[in-house]
Chain A
Amino acid sequence: MAQALAKTDVVMIGFGWVGAMMGQELTDAGLNVVALERGSWRDTPTDFATTFAQDELRYYWRHELFERLNHETLTFRNNDGQTALPMRHLGSFLPGSNVGGSGVHWNGQVWRFLPSDFLAKSHNLSRYGKSAVPDDMTIQDWGVTYDDLEPYYDKFEYLCGVSGKAGNLKGQIIPGGDPFEGPRSRDYPNPPLDMPYAPMLFAKAAADMGRHPFPHPAANVSRPYTNPLGVQLAQCTYCGFCEKYGCGNYSKSTAQTTILPVLMRKPNFTLRTRSEVRRIELSPDGKTATGVTYVDAQGRELFQPADLVILCAYALENVRMLLLSDVGKPYDPNTGEGLVGKNYAYQITSSVNVFYDDKILNPFIGAGALGMMCNDFNGDNFDHTGLGFIGGGYVGLMQTGARPIETHPTPDGTPTWGAGWKRAVAKNYLRATTISTHGAVMSHKQNHLDLDPTYKDALGRPLLRMSFDFTDNEHKMSDYLTDRAAEMGRAMNPREIKVNKRKGSYDIVPYQTTHNTGGAIMGTSPRDSVLNTYLQSWDVPNLFVPGANAFPQNPGYNPTGTVAALTFRCADAIKSHYLKAPGQPLVHA
């Protein structure tokens, strides 16, 4: 029997980006907030200091900052005809663990989705007709618009000190920025990062072809910055160890570098680390969360009662916690019944390597969101008539730091080892660069999450089971993007290019992106969503589930900006409305 602790106003499950944002907002409202984090405390000077953070083996290949799969993993299959098997080591995506979550090892790529992305179904139906959305493509509108989220996007960008160049200021198109973006109320808080040679070569070629290149919006700050909370960040030093690494230099925006210096000072905030939540406890009628049961660092089982429960873990873990806690009805793709686990989506990526003889690119100089990008083929920025797919993605040249175990591109025809491989790596390392594409994944009837019947985690609970494959829509779209990228690569006048299309079924082994979305999606009705547009559970109104789990489908951009905007909107709704009528739904079904 779990020992019951004193009640708190709010208990949060997980303490990454979302937990820090919610903690900051809700303590500002005067609430007592307890955050339960299964991992440990960690911070810049002790856990990813400049003295040792630039260590490719330890951090990327030995996964030190990531989730430990011996504790918990998931099982995977491409479709219901296969038996799902455990992901035994990390590969395709890299969820985090410990304080700061995946936000510690992200790149800092901060995007806003397109206005049309939030109307994925209605927009495509009206522009391309009924056939554009096949029956088994289960996309839907979000229930919020770009305009609803604009103030919250802005808030996150200023929290992070995003470095970038506006392309659309209140409807006015600004040269040098992204002309396709939705209108923004003001420019980015910091100017773009200094741009290395390779992205400039790409930008010139792209512009010559009539594309619209612009600097990637980066949460790697281009100059010393003090955010609205008074927290300071230092200028990025382009060390090339962002993605998969912690920043030793206080330059990458994370919970640690933007919020915790303020939040950790507050007497009404408590962080309990090494505290793993087993389940959300419900009242007998199942309509109220009474708190959470967790296991602490000493192995004791404790019950933390709370008026409000916020599930702020990684998107996949949020879905699993709902399933483990019997909140909502699990989705069954065969009957179409149930909603928890529905509309899992991902990202489809590809690349084109570009090899020069006469240009030294020093590709190890880099930052997580350093590059020149084109959104000419993202979302519905181009006419899809006759293309056989909807959606799109960005095409860009990013210089994130060529750590050599991971990045040593070789041309077509190079052996994979031996003297020929060695010669090709030595010849090309400093003179090669890579154009990436990053495409949307539409939700699909068969792609879903549920609990695995066989495999268990270290606490004896069922693992999450992922059933996922790319569909025709993704392959056609990604091939289209890759062809555009190859055109741009050739226009850069290299010696040669190498095209790396994404072929075949989704493979969980090679790293692609940590952009797992859906499974507990938002919407305007409990008939087709788990959460209302404030990320409040339809079934349990004192439970909120902010995260990428809320995305009904995954657009062609990185998700963090939108996760943050939805989270701030959720926090605002709790502060402005929910607290006036606690326990009540913010939207009536």
Chain B
Amino acid sequence: MSERPISRRRMLAAGAVLSASGVTGAIADDLTGNGVPFKPNSATFPQAADISGGYNFFSQAEAAFIEAACARMIPKDDLGPGAVEAGVPIFLDRQLGGEFGAGARWYMNGPWPKGEKTQGYQSRFTPAQMYRAAIKDIDDACAHAHNAPFHQIAADQQDAFLKGLESGSTSLPNADSKAVFTMFLQNVIEGFFSDPIYGGNRDMAGWKLIGFSGARYDQRPYVLAYNKPYPLPPVGISGRPGWTREG
């Protein structure tokens, strides 16, 4: 009964469904005199990504671009896994298919005149729309220049293309290339260093690379340990290997 083998990520994802159906947020809107309210067994726990089943948001062609670009942004090398090995493409897929991709918290009303740089993001595209438009433009541009989509050109050509986007020297017909690159770079770093429940930072590869201790809640014993290596392994919101096997 209790020991069905379920991956923790799946468990958290299933819990998230319950959260949407009202396990949380049951506190009344009118509170007088009864102290601080609390409902047992309620928590606004994170909505973990279900990483099974391949890409949901990206088409096959888009996924090919994303995987190729991620491999250039944070490559696999002698230091360890890169963005692809750490699951960043799936992270991006789930983020873009969710609230972030929809710009759900963003102010998305027009009008939409071109703004100054200091005024920030002024595209009418949501992040999801921005990625869609940009990937198509990029593959079109590569096909034009190299007769092949981005993921099929050589690594140094890929790097040159990405640098062109970053500097703005390469422009795209349907999206602001600098805005596209800024968002992509940010999202790749997010996928590499965020908690593994979101699909990236697989096996805490990003955290292990730099020595970040993760979702730990008590660092008191180590504050005054000047110039000493930190002794504990990283832990994610969903735990660490030691929870399920000795060590």
Contact = CB atoms under 8 A, between A and B. Distances in A.
Interface of A: 40-43, 45-47, 49-52, 54-58, 61-63, 68-70, 73, 76-78, 82-83, 85-89, 91, 194-197, 200, 235, 237-240, 248-249, 256, 260-261, 264-267, 269-275, 296-297, 359-360, 362, 364-366, 402, 404-405, 408, 416-419, 421-423, 425-426, 429-430, 454-456, 504-509
5 contacts: A56-B193, A68-B105, A196-B226, A271-B31, A417-B72
A271 B37 CA distance: 12
A61 B190 contact: yes
Contacts, number: 245
B152 interface: no
Contacts of A52: 43-46, 215, 237
A308 to B, nearest CB: 19
A426 B237 CA distance: 23
Nearest to A404: B193
Contacts of B74: 417-418, 421-422
Most buried by A among B216, B223, B229: B223
B9 to A, nearest CB: 14
Interface stretch (B55-63, B106-114, B133-141): B106-114
Interface stretch (B119-127, B143-151, B169-177): B119-127
A88 B120 contact: yes
A272 B30 CA distance: 5
Main secondary structure of the interface of B (DSSP, over half): loop
A45 B195 contact: no
B38 A418 contact: no
A273 B226 CA distance: 46
A87 B107 contact: yes
Contact of A88 (B77, B106, B211, B228): B106
Interface of B: 24-25, 27, 29-39, 42-46, 72-75, 77, 79, 82, 99-100, 103-109, 111, 113, 115-122, 159, 162, 166, 185-186, 188-190, 193-195, 198, 206-207, 209-220, 222-230, 237
A426 B106 contact: no
A497 B219 CA distance: 27
Nearest to A266: B33
Given A54-B216, A85-B115, A360 B105 contact: no
A66 to B, nearest CB: 8
A509 B120 contact: yes
Contact of A418 (B72, B79, B99, B228): B72
Contact of B223 (A266, A272, A365, A456): A365
Contacts of B229: 360
Contacts of A509: 118, 120-121
Lowest 8 A-B CB distances belong to which pairs? Answer: A57-B194, A429-B210, A54-B215, A267-B33, A197-B226, A404-B193, A238-B219, A507-B118
B120 A87 contact: yes
B82 A422 contact: yes
Contacts of B35: 261, 264-265
Given A55-B46, A264-B35, A418-B159, A70 B27 contact: no
A275 B29 contact: yes
Contacts of A194: 220, 223-224
Nearest to A428: B210
A510 to B, nearest CB: 9
Contacts of A456: 109
A77 B120 CA distance: 10
Given A238-B223, A260-B36, A55 B122 contact: no
Contact of A63 (B105, B185, B222): B105
A275 B30 CA distance: 10
A425 B79 CA distance: 11
A240 B223 CA distance: 11
A269 B33 contact: yes
A270 B188 CA distance: 46
B116 to A, nearest CB: 6
A416 B185 contact: yes
